[in-house]
Amino acid sequence: MNPVVQIENLNQYYQEGNYIKQTLFDINLKIYPQEFVILTGESGSGKTTLLSLIGCLRSVREGSLKVLGYELNGASEIERMKLRRRVGYVFQHFNLLDFMTVQQNVMISLEMQDDFVPKEALLRSQEMVAAVGLSKYMNAYPRELSGGQKQRVAIARALVHRPPLLLADEPTASLDRRTGQEVIELIIDLAKQEGSAVLLVTHNSRIFGTADRIIRMEDGKLEVGYQDQLSIVLPALTDKQLLDLIPHLRTANYQPGETIIRQGDMARNFYILVEGEVEVIKENTETDFTLLKKLNPNTYFGEIGLMHGSKHTATVRSSSHTNSKVITIDQEIFRQMTESSQMTYAMLNHKALEILAENTYNPNLLENQFNPDAPLNILSFKPGDAIIRQGEIVNGFYGIMEGMVEVLQEDLDGKPVHLKTLGRANYFGKVSLPEGKPSQETVRAAGDSEVKLMVINPMIFKLMMLEAGLLESLRLK
């Protein structure tokens, strides 16, 4: 699979008079088709500079930057302009044309394409306006819209020509929190439908769980966003526990086909995959093996041996077609981490048992039925399955471990209205359940997503939050 963005040893400078300052240092990055990558970092760290280079808005000074297979170092303005037409852009300031209607603002992206056909473009632009929920504003002008509605128009304009790459620079910066969350969900949903890769610059940590990968810019250099990455893979850890863990983390890079852990060796480390793809294989003999599964970023391995004090039950190696990068946690730090977070221990232990059950074909190792008296349950749901129904009493606090869920609410006619979509590391449910209040919403597994949830007994959750000093600040859904 060829990357839509491929950057190697990129350095960038800007000049004011005789003064030259370097703004980007040795940037190396690949973004693949349909991948959702978040770029985060402090103001002035170089995020917007990198985004503008990828978006063909500036000339590359040093190194290689390829977008959709075209080298931008040395490209002329005309060449960059042609490439810009194939990329989608969403900015924080909307950039709509005030003298055009909503439909016309969206259609203008199609008018710049070489294959522009007026009749088809009209229908396509109307479809996209409807897709962002603004059908009744089709002929309205930007001055008649709210900030959130303007950003929806900008999203439709960015995706109407089905770009293979969408760039979004702080698209929620000028919106309130709720509207901003809705805009991010819309970008994710529509980009998936249109098959676009997404590079999104944001400080909104609540959406980190929806990303395939998080990268952080610090002083013009790309770094692994340790805290952000860990919050996705180990969502039960508190901010303090994450910060305590970070100084002990290490990264390691592996070449295609290189072994990371070998079956039969004593477990020494816990691994979190942040880039690339790895294969988990069962070695039957020296020359014969069985491929058990492939793992993508934001997954982990090595926990079975550490949790059970045993040898590795399988070999894990970098896939033959890609380099891989992992975060490693040694066994002593892993032990401290699981002792400090009962929820994390329960999640990892359940996953270990699940893998053992798969490999031994013994499902009795797992209990996948809800027990309201248990401190924690881990349940799976198929696409479309209802998790909480509107009007029912909520009997747990739910954390999303895998997949996506939809939150719906019935209107006056009893028809379901989509409110939002939640991804990994998000949560829903109520903490103060003894009141016995029914749910005001229906929550179900998204139509194309298998979902795994961590369901915590509400009283246990309250105690844990009180111990962590987080109960008052927790934002309930």
Decide if 474 is inside a domain: no
What is the Cα–Cα distance from 216 to 189, expressed in whole angstroms? 23
Number of domains comprising the chain: 3
Residues 177, 305 within the same domain = no
pLDDT at site 52:
92
- The gap from C-alpha 71 to its chain's centroid, in whole angstroms, comes to 28
What is the Cα–Cα distance from 367 to 352, expressed in whole angstroms? 13
Six-digit token pair at 229? 């990455």
pLDDT at site 259:
95
Residue where the block lists tokens 């039957």: 284
CATH code where residue 39 lies: 3.40.50.300
Residues 396, 358 within the same domain = no
Decide if 231 is inside a domain: no
Residues 383, 439 within the same domain = yes
- The domain of 381 spans 376-468
CATH code where residue 423 lies: 2.60.120.10
pLDDT at site 254:
94
End-of-domain residue from the set 332, 365, 398: 365
Euclidean distance between the first and final Cα of the chain, in Å?
39
Residues 210, 72 within the same domain = yes
Contact 201, 40 (CB under 8 A): yes
Residues 298, 444 within the same domain = no
Contact 271, 233 (CB under 8 A): no
Residues 269, 417 within the same domain = no
Six-digit token pair at 262? 């070998």
Contact 343, 464 (CB under 8 A): yes
Residues 312, 443 within the same domain = no
Residues 250, 216 within the same domain = no
pLDDT at site 475:
39
Distances (CA, A) of 16 to 13, 50, 265, 465: 10, 19, 57, 52
What is the Cα–Cα distance from 189 to 183, expressed in whole angstroms? 10
Contact 251, 327 (CB under 8 A): yes
Q: Which residues, 6 or more positions from 58, have their beta carbon under 8 angstroms from its beta carbon?
A: 12, 49, 52
Question: Between helices 118-131 and 102-111, what is the axis angle to 10°?
Answer: 130
Decide if 347 is inside a domain: yes
Residues 204, 122 within the same domain = yes
pLDDT at site 242:
79
Residue 182 burial (CB < 10 Å; 0-12/13-18/19+)?
buried
Six-digit token pair at 62? 């040093």
DSSP helix/strand/coil, 72: coil
Decide if 51 is inside a domain: yes
What is the Cα–Cα distance from 356 to 282, expressed in whole angstroms? 12
Query: Any idea what DSSP says for residue 439?
Result: P
Decide if 135 is inside a domain: yes
pLDDT at site 306:
87
What is the Cα–Cα distance from 407 to 403, expressed in whole angstroms? 14
Residue where the block lists tokens 């079956």: 263
Among candidate residues 412, 339, 358, 350, the one with its CA nearest the CA of residue 376: 350
| Diameter of the chain measured on Cα atoms | 73
Read off the pTM.
Answer: 0.61
Residues 248, 382 within the same domain = no
Contact 444, 406 (CB under 8 A): yes
What is the Cα–Cα distance from 246 to 239, expressed in whole angstroms? 11
Decide if 473 is inside a domain: no
> What single letter denotes the amino acid at residue 4?
V
Beta bridge partners of 422: 405
DSSP helix/strand/coil, 366: coil
End-of-domain residue from the set 365, 400, 417: 365
pLDDT at site 374:
60
Residues 187, 243 within the same domain = no
Edge-to-edge strands of the sheet including 427-429?
Answer: 376-381, 451-456, 397-402, 427-429
Distances (CA, A) of 360 to 68, 279, 285: 44, 19, 18
What is the Cα–Cα distance from 309 to 267, expressed in whole angstroms? 7
Q: Which residues, 6 or more positions from 267, have their beta carbon under 8 angstroms from its beta carbon?
A: 261, 302, 304, 305, 306, 309, 310, 311, 312, 331
Long-range contacts, stretch 279-286, CB < 8 angstroms, 24+ apart: 279/316, 279/317, 279/318, 279/319, 280/314, 280/315, 280/316, 281/314, 281/315, 281/316, 281/317, 282/314, 282/315, 282/359, 283/314, 283/315
End-of-domain residue from the set 331, 365, 399: 365
Contact 9, 64 (CB under 8 A): yes
Residues 290, 439 within the same domain = no
Decide if 230 is inside a domain: no
Decide if 446 is inside a domain: yes
Provide the residue-wise pLDDT of the chain in tens; the chain has 477 residues: 789 999 999 999 987 778 888 999 999 999 988 888 889 888 888 998 999 999 999 999 999 999 999 999 999 999 999 999 999 998 878 888 899 999 999 999 998 888 889 899 999 999 999 988 899 999 999 999 998 899 899 999 999 999 999 999 888 777 777 777 778 888 888 888 888 999 999 876 667 767 777 888 888 988 766 776 777 788 777 777 877 888 788 889 999 999 999 999 999 999 999 888 999 998 888 778 889 889 988 889 998 888 878 888 889 999 998 889 899 999 999 998 888 877 787 777 767 766 665 654 444 434 445 555 566 677 889 888 999 888 887 777 787 877 889 989 888 787 888 888 887 767 787 544 444 567 888 999 987 778 888 787 766 666 555 544 444 444 333
Strands 36-41 and 197-201: parallel
